[in-house]
Amino acid sequence: MSDVLLEMRGITKEFPGVKALKDVSFSVRPGEIHALVGENGAGKSTLMKVVSGVYPYGSYEGEFFFKGQECRFHNIRDSERKGIVIIHQELALVPHLSITENIFLANEQSTAGVIDWGLSNSRAQELLKKVGLDEPPGTRVSRLGVGKQQLVEIAKALSKNVELLILDEPTSSLNENDSQKLLQLLREFRSNGIACVLISHKLKEVESVADTITVLRDGAVIESLDATAGDVTEDRIIRGMVGRDLTHRFPPREAEIGDVLLEIRNWKVAHPVYEDRMVINDVSVTVRSGEVVGIAGLMGAGRTEFAMSVFGRSWGRYVSGSVLIRDREVDVSTIPKAVDKGLAYVTEDRKTYGLVLMNDVKTNITLANLDGVAQTGVISPPKEVKVANEYRDALAIKTPSVKQIAVNLSGGNQQKVVLSKWLFSNPDVLILDEPTRGIDVGAKYEIYSIINRLAAEGKGIIIISSELPEVLGVSDRIYVMAAGRIAAEMRASEASQELIMKAIMRLARAGAEEVVL
Amino acid sequence: MSTNTETTAPLAAPALDRAANVMRSIRRIGQGGMLLALILALVFFQLTTNGVMLKPLNVTNVFLQNGYILVMALGMLLVIVIGHIDLSVGSVAGFLGAIVAVLMVGATLPVVGKVQLDPVLALAVTLIVGGIIGMWQGFWVAYLRVPSFIVTLAGMLLFRGATLFMLGGQPVGPFPESFRAISAGFIPEVIGTVPDPFGTGAPPVQLGPLVLPLGGGPLQLTTMLMGGLLSAFVVLIAYRARRGELRYGFAVPSIRQFWIRNALIILGIMFIAYRLSGYKGLPIVALLAFVLIGGYMFLTLRTTIGRRIYAVGGNAKAATLSGVNAKFMVFLTFVNMGVLAALGGIIIAARFNSATPKAGYGFELDVIAATFVGGASAYGGVGTVAGTVIGALFFGLLNIGMGIMSIPIDYQFMVKALVLLIAVYFDVSSKGKDA
């Protein structure tokens, strides 16, 4: 048997406008735990989706071999037949079915289509024992906590005779105790010869469990570290993750900062379903007029949840906290009220939450302020067109006409339409959530310029971004968020990627210890 | 030992895929739109009925017998555009027909005692009750978040039961003449009549086997005049819209195309006016429908409420995050549906001169089908008043045409079912093309 289980050579994967993977080579030895780390958007998940057949053969360039055989997967089934199983960050279990039913979903223990329940349950029992889950196999999955659900996923993977198990952020929603159990399980698998690719942001875990650590950045492999000796530190990994030369340029920024425009005090919000889980915990933030405030943090830090809960309580269950605009407490408990008080929230997911894709550009631009183009409820088409044309020119939206259907625009131009919509509502404070996600470098620059212009007009801007260079490049002041709290606040001129990363890790560690206590 | 299903499933699947491919190629041929289908159906019936289809009486009957579909389809359009469905309209219309009947004919009601209202008051009360029923269903759908399919399925049973209860299992009628006029009356002739230039007794004008729809009774000039005014109005609006577009530099069809298109519209309107005037003139129910059509065109195209309904149907999350009160919009469309169902119920009762326990039975299917055939999307966000009108007329035409051809009712159902399937397939497949 060769000493390489999986070998990938020259993998390149392009999405419209973005090169997600650039000539990536990656290999996994049999029975090792191989950690894959990198910032959001570095290409970790994309690479693993190639391996597992989520992106079928032909949709990427390059080749890869599993146990010496070349692989050309057309779907997940193909990869699973070979013994490669991926467990995604969002668990793929059917909540209303039992553990047994989930384990053997689409792989039923059956004869001529008739399920053998006795066999199914006894096999499920065996698998549960292997993963250390002490629950009757007939239990409905919805009754299990996230940690136990994760174990069911792994049992499901084992039922497919897995040889390479890929886990995408398996511990991101687990508490410290469950995380440790899971990592212990991975170690057991290693001794049984099952190799494992672990994608994780929790570098402490990576440090403790991984044999090899591969760092991805901007779709390319930066380095592969041998961690068996145990001399690879968290700091060493962070340096690899963020230490890039700036590939994006930012327009020069001369801030003229005025009085406090928006102040959010002691904001607390609970999870919409699990009411005892505090997702936003005592967050206080201020924004001055003319100021661009960045909120940095990793995915799942609670930044979007925070912004949306402030904007008309459109996320979660409000627990406590107050919002002040120009030192006066205001009621922003519904979206219309928030808009009326001068808030605007530009969503991170423009297709799902930002645009009515089947409607045209002008209809989308006026949606948040229809009364601005109407009199006593009757829309004036000329006025609407005039407004839309003004924004098209001001923001340089590339579209043949404002009657173009939004779905036909490129990502950057769609983003400008969403921005136009909110500018037309004439807000005092704009919250921009990942405003440059998935758009090309040129369009990014334009968006940054618009942000600068708005700040120069005296508006307050909050920009949420997972790209640290972006936060550093456009902000005047930066809040670092982690685990639903503000981990640090710093002036952009004094901040650096290392400082931000360290702040995140510090709080993550503190949070973990708190749970153990 | 695991799967036998695995081997059988891939065998069946390619055959189904091939069938879908055949359907797609048929669709590409049929892309001329619903209007073309309507005209083809007209020609078909004109041929098969030897010219009877488009005689003045039958054109009038298209409106008299299907007015309720037109009226209720306008409400259904908004419900479907916002992404919901109302299965209860038939039962609700039946119930409200019973209400208006009982109020006019007189009955002893609990709490209020004996009541007998004059037709106008009875009508007003019925419309209000329709609105309240809409509020009831809208509340369950929008605020209690029960799927509209379930709420209105319950409503279907609830109001069928309530109808039986109101009527005690007996038909209630007859009604005063003034009330019956809603469905049986025509606008008064104020100008006078002239003989049809193509005469009454003359041999029919033919184009090959096709009998041209010309000749009939003396022409009612008021109806012709109204047709002329409507044509002028429609062209004026279109012209002003075109000028506005030009001013903002939009690409518009050439002036020649513009006039060809509008000439066809004028031709259509004037043809209907000509046929109607050859019988007894414009039916009151058709006038009512035309006014409502105009009103709802304005609502959907020009008002903020209309715009918000389409936005919620297109992307409820984005609309909500833009400050649109999506729940209230859903609520409103159901209230509107309730009022129009009341109007539908009144039209049905007036037409049969009695309210019967079976009135409105199965009408929801005609109304929903007309809306979908008219191009509304089952996924919400898409649909026009004009399309819905064409869909409703199409179904009206099928009903009358197959009736004249004496096609048995069993076949009629099957034909309508196929029309519905194919029309919605066009919608689904055109969606797939965009994605």
Measured between beta carbons, the chain A residues lying within 8 angstroms of B326 are none
- Look-up: residue for tokens 């403790």? A208
Statement to judge: residues A319 and A383 lie in one domain: no
Task: Examine the fold and report which residue of A395, A426, A457 is the final residue of a domain before the chain moves on.
Answer: A426
Statement to judge: residues A414 and A432 lie in one domain: no
The pLDDT confidence band at residue A202, using thresholds 50, 70 and 90, is: confident
User: How confident is the model at residue A408, as a pLDDT?
Assistant: 83
Residue of B nearest to A344 (CA): B322
Any A CB within 8 A of B322 CB: yes
Statement to judge: residues A199 and A323 lie in one domain: no
Statement to judge: residues A230 and A266 lie in one domain: no
Measured between beta carbons, the chain B residues lying within 8 angstroms of A357 are 314-315
The CA distance from B84 to B65, in Å, is: 27
Yes or no, beta carbons of A374 and B1 under 8 Å apart: no
The CA distance from B80 to B64, in Å, is: 25
Statement to judge: residues A294 and A327 lie in one domain: yes
- Best of B2, B308, B322 to disrupt the A interface by mutation (most A CBs within 10 Å)? B322
For residue A348, tell me if it sits in a domain. no
Yes or no, beta carbons of A371 and B304 under 8 Å apart: yes
For residue A257, tell me if it sits in a domain. yes
Yes or no, beta carbons of A367 and B307 under 8 Å apart: yes
For residue A503, tell me if it sits in a domain. yes
Measured between beta carbons, the chain A residues lying within 8 angstroms of B315 are 352, 355-357
Give the count of domains, chain A. Answer: 3
Q: Which of B317, B321, B382 sits opposite A345 (nearest CB)?
A: B321
Q: Which of B244, B310, B314 sits opposite A382 (nearest CB)?
A: B244
Residue pair A446/A452 in contact by the 8 Å Cβ criterion: no
Task: Examine the fold and report which residue of A188, A215, A242 is the final residue of a domain before the chain moves on.
Answer: A242
Q: Which of A107, A403, A421 sits opposite B322 (nearest CB)?
A: A421
Any B CB within 8 A of A105 CB: no
Q: Which residues, other chains included, contact A495 with Cβ-Cβ below 8 Å and sequence gap of 6+?
A: A472, A478
Measured between beta carbons, the chain A residues lying within 8 angstroms of B382 are 358
Q: How many CA atoms lie within 13 A of A110 on its CB side?
A: 15
The pLDDT confidence band at residue B303, using thresholds 50, 70 and 90, is: very high
Q: Which of B302, B318, B320 sits opposite A378 (nearest CB)?
A: B302
pLDDT at B7 over 80: no
The CA distance from A510 to A493, in Å, is: 27
**What would the pLDDT profile of A39-50 be if each residue is shown by its tens digit?**
766 788 889 999
Statement to judge: residues A256 and A322 lie in one domain: yes
The CA distance from A169 to A358, in Å, is: 34
Yes or no, beta carbons of B303 and A111 under 8 Å apart: no
Yes or no, beta carbons of A382 and B248 under 8 Å apart: yes
Taking the CA atoms of A58, A62, A63 and A64 in sequence, report the sign of the dihedral they define. Answer: negative
Measured between beta carbons, the chain A residues lying within 8 angstroms of B4 are 110-113
Any A CB within 8 A of B12 CB: no
Any B CB within 8 A of A415 CB: no
In this prediction, residues B149-169 reach a mean pLDDT of 93
pLDDT at A143 over 90: no
User: How confident is the model at residue B31, as a pLDDT?
Assistant: 43
Yes or no, beta carbons of A382 and B247 under 8 Å apart: yes
- Best of A343, A359, A380 to disrupt the B interface by mutation (most B CBs within 10 Å)? A359
**CATH code, A193:** 3.40.50.300
pLDDT at B63 over 60: yes
β-strand pairing of A84-87 with A164-168? parallel
For residue A351, tell me if it sits in a domain. no
The pLDDT confidence band at residue A174, using thresholds 50, 70 and 90, is: confident
User: Containing domain of residue A294, as a range?
Assistant: 248-342+428-517
Q: Which of A37-51, B22-36, B172-186, B417-431 has the highest mean pLDDT?
A: B172-186
Q: How far is A422 from chain B (nearest CA, A)?
A: 8
For residue A38, tell me if it sits in a domain. yes
For chain B, helix (H) and strand (E) counts, in that order, are 16, 6
Residue pair A43/A72 in contact by the 8 Å Cβ criterion: no
The CA distance from A129 to A140, in Å, is: 17
User: How confident is the model at residue B200, as a pLDDT?
Assistant: 62
User: How confident is the model at residue B339, as a pLDDT?
Assistant: 98
Of A350-354, B95-99, B304-308, where does mean pLDDT reach its minimum? A350-354
Statement to judge: residues A13 and A104 lie in one domain: yes
**Cα-based angle A374, B127, B132 (whole degrees, multiple of 5):** 80
Q: How far is B422 from chain A (nearest CA, A)?
A: 23
Residue of B nearest to A341 (CA): B323
Share of chain B above pLDDT 70, in %: 90
For residue A459, tell me if it sits in a domain. yes
Task: Examine the fold and report which residue of A426, A447, A466 is the final residue of a domain before the chain moves on.
Answer: A426
What domains can be seen in chain B, in order of their start residue?
49-185+283-434 (1.10.3470)
Statement to judge: residues A307 and A451 lie in one domain: yes
User: How confident is the model at residue A246, as a pLDDT?
Assistant: 42
Statement to judge: residues A432 and A422 lie in one domain: no
Of A34-48, A120-134, A227-241, A252-266, where does mean pLDDT reach its minimum? A227-241
CA R_g for chain A: 25
Chain B residues 274-303 with CB within 8 Å of chain A: 302-303
Statement to judge: residues A328 and A182 lie in one domain: no
Nearest to B204 by CA among B47, B44, B46, B51: B51
pLDDT at B2 over 70: no
Any A CB within 8 A of B3 CB: yes
Residue of A nearest to B318 (CA): A353
- Look-up: residue for tokens 């002893």? B108
The CA distance from A481 to A280, in Å, is: 10
Statement to judge: residues A401 and A269 lie in one domain: no
pLDDT at B102 over 80: yes
User: How confident is the model at residue B416, as a pLDDT?
Assistant: 87
Q: B58 has which bridge partners?
A: none
Rounded to 5 degrees, what are φ and ψ at A129?
-60, -45
Statement to judge: residues A236 and A160 lie in one domain: yes
Yes or no, beta carbons of A379 and B303 under 8 Å apart: yes
Q: Which of B303, B308, B323 sits opposite A339 (nearest CB)?
A: B323
Q: How far is CA A338 from CA A310, A397, B323, in A?
A: 8, 27, 8
Higher pLDDT, B253 or A291: A291
Residue of B nearest to A332 (CA): B323
User: How confident is the model at residue A441, as a pLDDT?
Assistant: 64
Measured between beta carbons, the chain A residues lying within 8 angstroms of B319 are 356, 367
- Look-up: residue for tokens 């508490």? A175
Measured between beta carbons, the chain B residues lying within 8 angstroms of A339 are 323
Share of chain A above pLDDT 70, in %: 94
Nearest to B69 by CA among B377, B352, B365, B297: B365
Long-range contacts of B119-125 (CB under 8 A, 24+ apart): B119/B175, B119/B176, B119/B178, B119/B179, B122/B179, B123/B179, B123/B346, B125/B99, B125/B100
Residue of B nearest to A345 (CA): B321
The pLDDT confidence band at residue A7, using thresholds 50, 70 and 90, is: very high
Q: Which of A312, A314, A377 sits opposite B305 (nearest CB)?
A: A377
User: How confident is the model at residue B32, as a pLDDT?
Assistant: 44
pLDDT at B407 over 80: yes
The pLDDT confidence band at residue B6, using thresholds 50, 70 and 90, is: very low
User: How confident is the model at residue A243, as a pLDDT?
Assistant: 65
Higher pLDDT, A42 or A359: A359
- Best of A355, A363, A370 to disrupt the B interface by mutation (most B CBs within 10 Å)? A370
Yes or no, beta carbons of B2 and A107 under 8 Å apart: yes
Of A242-251, A343-352, B181-190, B227-236, where does mean pLDDT reach its minimum? A242-251
Yes or no, beta carbons of A108 and B304 under 8 Å apart: no
In this prediction, residues A466-480 reach a mean pLDDT of 90
